[in-house]
Structure 1
Amino acid sequence: MEETDLSHLGQLLTYATGSGAQVAIWVAPEFGYEHAQALHRLNKWTKESIRFFGVKIEVFKKAGDEHLEARFRKVVYPGGWNKQVTLPSGEMPATKRQYYEFFQPLITKLRGEGFADKAVNYFDHTGRFFPSRLDEDTGYAVSFWNNGAWVSLHVRTWDSIERNNRIFDELQKAKPEIEESLDAEWVWHRFGPHSFFTISIRRDSSIDDSSEKLEETRGWMLDQLPKLKKSSIRTWSGS
C-alpha cells in the first residue's frame, strides 16, 4: 500500500458508482491533505444515504508480543475529517520528498516493532522524533545534520531544570557502560541553562547519498535506536 494520489481517488469513485455502493471506504497508510478534503466535500455534497470514509492503516507490535497487528484510524467520516493526520497541502518540494521517502519505511518498521506510537517532524523535515509514552517532550530522534546521520536521546523537563540536570548527571555516571554498548561516535550535550539535553551517536551520511548508502544508513538507524533506548532507559526512568 502507498500514500493516496489522484488515480486512487478516481478508482474509488469509478468502482463505487459502477457497483452502486452507498458506502465507499478508502484505506491507505498516508492521506494527502487534498485527497482527504475531497472525500470530506463529497460527504457534504452527496445525499445522506451515500457515505465516504478515509481510513489510515498503521501496523504495530505490542510490547512482549511478536505478532504484528493493524490499527485503523479515521481520517474522513460523514460529518468531519481529521486534518492533523494528513500530509502537508500541495506537492512536496523535491528536497522534502527525499527526506519523507527516507524516513517513512523506517517509521513503519519502528511502529510495527512497538518502538513508538507515533513520529513527528524534527528539525523541520530533516529528522523524525519519537515521543516517549511517558512524556511527549522526551524521546528518541533520527536526523541528518552537519554532514552526518544522527540517532539521539532527547530529554526535556520544562518543569524542572534541577530534574533535567539530575537525569543528565545520572546518565553521565553510566557513560562508560552506555558508550561501550554502541560502537559509535558519541556526543553528549547539555543545553544550559535550559531544561534540555541530548545524547547522540553519529555516522557520516547525507540525504544526497546513493540509494545503497541511504539503505545502509536507514539500517544503521534501525539497529542503533533500540540499543540506545535499552542502554539509557534504566537510568533515565529511575531519575
Structure 2
Amino acid sequence: MHGINGMTKHTKIELDQIEMVDDLRTIWPDEARNFTPWLSESENLEQLGEAIGRNLQLSETESSVGAFSVDILATTEDDDGVKTVIIENQLTETNHDHLGKLITYAAGKKAQIIVWIVEEARNEHQQAIQWLNEHTDEDMGFYLVQIKVLRIGQSRPAVKFELIEKPNEWERKMRSNKNLTETKALQLRYWDAFVEYLQNQEEFKKYFRIPETKPQHWLTLRAGSASFAVGCLVNTQRKVIGTELTVWNRDFYDYLSAHKQDFEREIGHELIWHGEGKHTLRIYVETPGNIKGTEKGWNEFFSWYCEMAPKFLISARKYLETFNQNNRKR
C-alpha cells in the first residue's frame, strides 16, 4: 500500500502483552486436591519431563512414606535402566521444611531422581540442590523447577516449567570415566566424535537434541516423548551398528507390532522386534560397521545414523498420535 509521494504506508500490527499470573492459587487453590491431580495427568507430566529431559511415567499420587506422603511417585528410564522418581510440589517460595521432606522422601522411596517444583526458588535452596548434585553419584539427580503461569490478553492460562538446577552431566562424566576398559574408552571416543559430527547436521537437529555421551554401546536421542526414544547402537564384538526405537509403553509397542508391515515399509528395512522386556521394548535395524582399528569409516556410520534416526522418529510419532486418538475414543 502506498501513501503520499509514493511512500509505503504500513499496516499497524496489533500485538498483545504476555502477562504473568502472580497468584498460582487462583489456578490451583489447593496443592493436594488441585495441583497434584493436574500434574499427574499424562500430558502435564510429559511437559514436566520435557523440561527436565526425562520421560516420566506415573506410579502413584500421595504415596505414603511413613507418616507422610510424597506428592507424586513416578518412574523414568534412561541409559542405566528404570529409576524411581519423586516429585514434591510447593506452590510458594522454597523453605527448609520442604527441602527436608524432599530428602526424607528420597530416602524412604530409595529414589534416584528427585524433582522439586516451586513457585519461587530462594538462592540458598538453589545452592543446596546444586551441592547435592555435586556430592552424589551419577545414579542420582536433583532437579529444581519453577512453575510459571502465563496469559496473553483474555486467553486461557498456559504453564511454563523453568529448570533452575539439574545435575552437571559433564562433570559427572569426568568423574566416572576414570579407569575405563579399552572397549569402554573406544565407545566414548566414538560417541564423542558422533556428537561433534552432529554439530553441522542442521536437518538432524530439527528432530533431536544433541545428546550426552557415555562409555556404553548405545546413545539415546531424546525427542520429547514419554512413550519412546530413538537410539544409536554399536557392537564392537559383532562388528555392527544399529538404530532402534526404545518403547516404554507396552500398549503402544503392541499397537506398533499390529502394524508391523506398514511400519517396516516406512522405515525401509525389515526390523528386529524385541518385546520380551519388562520395562524396555525394542525395535531396531542393524548394518555392518566395525569401529575398531581405524576412525576413517566413522563418518559413513554417522551419516547412516542421521538417515535412519529421523525415519524412526517420524513414523513413531505418527503411530503414537493415532494410538492416542484411539484411546481417547474409548
Letter in 2 for 1:133: G
Equivalent residue number for residue 127 of structure 1: 218
Equivalent residue number for residue 18 of structure 2: none
Equivalent residue number for residue 322 of structure 2: 238
In the alignment, structure 1 residue 184 sits paired with structure 2 residue 276: no
Query: What's the offset of the Cα at 1:92?
Result: 5.6
In structure 2, which of residues 179, 200, 209 is the aligned counterpart of residue 117 of structure 1?
209
Take 2:264 and 2:183, find their aligned partners in 1: how far apart are those partners?
33
Q: TM-score normalised to the size of structure 2?
A: 0.39
Equivalent residue number for residue 174 of structure 1: 259
Equivalent residue number for residue 308 of structure 2: 224
In the alignment, structure 1 residue 150 sits paired with structure 2 residue 238: no
Letter in 2 for 1:119: P
Query: What's the offset of the Cα at 1:176?
Result: 1.8
Take 1:129 and 1:91, find their aligned partners in 2: how far apart are those partners?
23
Residue by residue over 1:100-122, the C-alpha shift from the partner in whole angstroms, topping out at 9 and shown as x without a partner, is 23222433527851333353557
Letter in 1 for 2:296: E
Letter in 2 for 1:129: T
- The answer to whether the 8 A contact 1:127-1:141 is kept is yes
Take 2:294 and 2:264, find their aligned partners in 1: how far apart are those partners?
29
**Structure with more contact order per residue of length (Cα contacts < 8 Å, sep ≥ 6):** 1
SS of the residue aligned with 2:300?
helix
Equivalent residue number for residue 88 of structure 1: 174
- Do the aligned partners of residues 182 and 85 (structure 1) sit closer, same or farther apart at CA in structure 2, a change above 3 Å counting? same
Letter in 1 for 2:274: H
Q: How many residues align?
A: 152
In structure 1, which of residues 94, 100, 106 is the aligned counterpart of residue 188 of structure 2?
100
Residue by residue over 1:191-227, the C-alpha shift from the partner in whole angstroms, topping out at 9 and shown as x without a partner, is 25x1431110110112215323322111111110001
Question: Which protein shows a greater Rg?
Answer: 2
Cα-Cα RMSD: 3.3
Letter in 2 for 1:218: F
Take 2:313 and 2:295, find their aligned partners in 1: how far apart are those partners?
27
Equivalent residue number for residue 287 of structure 2: 203
Take 2:305 and 2:168, find their aligned partners in 1: how far apart are those partners?
30
Q: Between the two proteins, what is the percent identity of the paired residues?
A: 13
- The answer to whether the 8 A contact 1:107-1:119 is kept is yes
Query: What's the offset of the Cα at 1:188?
Result: 0.8
Structure 1 unaligned blocks of 5 or more: 1-73, 76-80, 158-163
- Do the aligned partners of residues 185 and 147 (structure 1) sit closer, same or farther apart at CA in structure 2, a change above 3 Å counting? farther
Query: What's the offset of the Cα at 1:96?
Result: 3.1
Report 1:27-106 matches (<5 A).
83-86=168-171, 87-89=173-175, 90=178, 94-106=182-194
